[in-house]
Chains A and B, each alone.
Chain A
Amino acid sequence: MHSSETAAPAAVEVAAVVTGERSSPLQTRPRTIKLSTGDYVLRGISYVTVSLFALFCALPFVLIISASLSSESAVVRDGFGLLPRGFTLTAYEYIFKAPRQIIGSYVVTVTMTTVGTAIGLFVIAMTGFALYRKDFRFRNYISFFIYFTTLFSAGLAPTFLWVARDLGLRGSYLAVFLQLLMTPWLIILMKNFMRTVPYEIIESGKVDGAGDFRIFSQLTLPMMKPALATIGLFLALGYWNEWYLSSLYLGSSVEFKPLQYHLYNLINTANALRNSVAGSNVSITDLPSNTLKMASAVVATGPILLLYPFVQKYFVTGITVGAVKG
């Protein structure tokens, strides 16, 4: 009955090549060797649908890139096109006019993202592990304690007063950095992902006399790579896309604004000036407002997109989890 499953080294090689896995042949088992018609149909549908959806997602971005390279007057007159109209780099020149600013913003954001993701991930994983442990007496209380915060929040003014005045964090990057460290959703998600770790591993760790923290750091954590990759990705995106907290807590009091906030300011200034009564006192400089918006989207998105393929390999590594259990 199991004959077809017997590991043939050649099949392992093939599977590894096909799936692009980087795992050792010893751990990987060959995949199903024969595909049914249904499988082919499903696969075919998958390729087509995924391609279409990916294109659907990419299309507006193509518009954005082409608009960011168009001349302002052409965009105002003719709208967006798939190819730039009246090719120019004016918008990018405007953004990079003060390169010190934008480089500083990159440094701030990259630092926050890497450090915040690392610390946040560790704390989230640790908490998720504890909450997953059925023998942990307080797991329900703590879960509820954490979840409750998603239902009730104090709102803008009370939170602001507390963090800015009582904690004294106004004008400090810490106000932004700390508040993004974790969310209830990511902790509960982590706890949920822990289910894929077989409970016997924890039991066996205990039998060997390992402490809870050692079981977590040495036995569980290495098996959690897909979960860590997912949650780390969410954390990183959270840091990268952040502008709201920056606008509340940092304002103009830091020399370098986080990247998204810097760009948010760039694209909103022209709008704010035009629509405000304050306009009486201000001369509006000739901003390439449409193309500027588009260029700032490109500048803000580019680098973080490179992160995804890097993270993705951990999703694939996750496949080996099953092997340990078997």
Chain B
Amino acid sequence: MDSKVLLLMCLPAVAFFVVFNYAPLPGIWIAFTNFNYRDGIFGSPFVGLQNFEFLIRSGQLWLLTRNTILYNLAFIVLGNILQISLAIMLNEIRMKYFKKVAQTLMFLPYFISVVLIGVIAFNLLNYDTGALNALIVQTGGDPIKIYSIAGAWPFIIVLVHLWQSTGYGSIVYFAAIMGIDKSLFEAAAIDGASAWQRIRYIILPSLKPTFIILLLFSLGGIMHGNFGLFWNLVGNNATLYQTTDIIETAVYRMVMSQNNFTTSTAVGLYQSIFGFTLVMLANWFVRRMNKDYALF
């Protein structure tokens, strides 16, 4: 079979990734050097694993890796459940303007920069002037020192993340539902299928490929934390680090006053190798279950 035209059609994208992603890859070498401008990436002195050493020395590698992964798992699992539910419910909405307005509103959080989210959260939650505590005091309760309670923050952070990403993320699922052959629904209605059966046997199966791809992409990034979100919500508040510190924030604090391009590359490499291993395993697993859904 002749694939020449199809190959040509892939060419622009392949060229794009070669130029912007593969070409700079050898530069990862910088993670093993004591980089200087004079000698460039490949001329600078080789220092082996020294740039990775600080992660181990800080004694926090395990805590940080654990926190990063747990947060991402929560984001993936809860995020997908909410996005799918929301997409299904949106599909039930029949009033055109209602739908448009609702969807537009759900997009809003995506546009609010995390800097502002941090500001708003502080305004709602702080002890002295926070709106939440004002409410508690008004109703006769004692104000809560939320910024000192480490246990509360996983919930707050997950909630904020879901608030910010659910509307945006549900678009993919909504579009997938829109792509379902309508005759399936009609046939189901004629067969007297219940609403639940319609969801269970038509909608959910058709979302499966999308879900799996989303999952594989999220797994690839499971070691990468959302720095902006965590930094703006928690910042320098060390009381909360036990439950809120992720790789990105910890590394930022360790090296932020130094112009350390080598350490950041080293940390990135650690995250990549970890994520890569995980994805290869997951893909292998998916492939065994259903070849069609595998990424590659």
Contact = CB atoms under 8 A, between A and B. Distances in A.
Contacts of A305: 104, 107-108, 111
Contact of A230 (B22, B166, B175, B195): B175
The 10 closest A-B pairs by CB, nearest first: A158-B27, A20-B96, A157-B261, A144-B296, A46-B89, A322-B181, A38-B195, A154-B24, A32-B189, A196-B179
Given A45-B89, A57-B167, A241 B111 contact: yes
Contact of A143 (B167, B196, B296): B296
Interface in A70-101: 78-80
Interface stretch (A1-9, A108-116, A250-258): A1-9
B113 A297 contact: yes
Interface string B191-221: 0101110010000000001100100110011
Contacts, number: 304
Interface in A307-326: 308-309, 312, 315-316, 318-319, 321-323, 325-326
B281 interface: no
Nearest to B22: A149
Interface string A225-258: 0110110011001000100000000000000000
B9 A127 contact: yes
B20 A142 contact: no
A216 interface: yes
A220 B147 CA distance: 54
B61 interface: no
A318 B6 CA distance: 25
Nearest to A143: B296
Given A32-B185, A297-B112, A325-B181, A162 B6 contact: no
A54 B106 contact: yes
Nearest to B23: A162
B105 A153 contact: no
Interface of A: 1-2, 4-5, 18-20, 29, 31-32, 34, 36, 38-39, 41-43, 45-47, 49-51, 53-58, 60-61, 63-64, 78-80, 123-124, 126-127, 129-131, 133, 135-138, 140, 142-147, 149-159, 161-163, 166-167, 178-179, 181-182, 184-185, 187-189, 192-193, 195-196, 211-213, 216, 226-227, 229-230, 233-234, 237, 241, 264, 267-268, 290, 293-294, 297, 300-301, 304-305, 308-309, 312, 315-316, 318-319, 321-323, 325-326
A79 to B, nearest CB: 5
23 contacts: A38-B194, A42-B196, A43-B93, A49-B86, A53-B106, A54-B101, A64-B112, A130-B6, A137-B1, A147-B295, A154-B265, A155-B31, A156-B265, A157-B262, A158-B30, A182-B16, A193-B175, A234-B171, A293-B116, A294-B116, A297-B112, A301-B112, A322-B182
Nearest to B196: A38
A138 B8 CA distance: 11
Contacts of A152: 25, 28, 272, 276
Contact of B24 (A163, A184, A192): A163
Contacts of B154: none
A86 to B, nearest CB: 16
Given A54-B106, A154-B21, 16 more contacts: A18-B94, A50-B86, A60-B112, A78-B129, A79-B129, A79-B131, A123-B12, A142-B10, A157-B262, A158-B265, A163-B20, A163-B24, A192-B213, A211-B5, A293-B115, A322-B182
A192 B119 contact: no
A80 B123 contact: yes
Contact of B275 (A2, A151, A300): A151
Contacts of A31: 182, 185-186
A80 B113 contact: no
B179 A318 contact: yes
Interface residues of B, number: 104
B178 A19 contact: no
Nearest to B209: A192
A193 B176 contact: yes
A237 B110 CA distance: 9
Contacts of B110: 237, 241
Nearest to A241: B111
B143 interface: no
B180 interface: yes
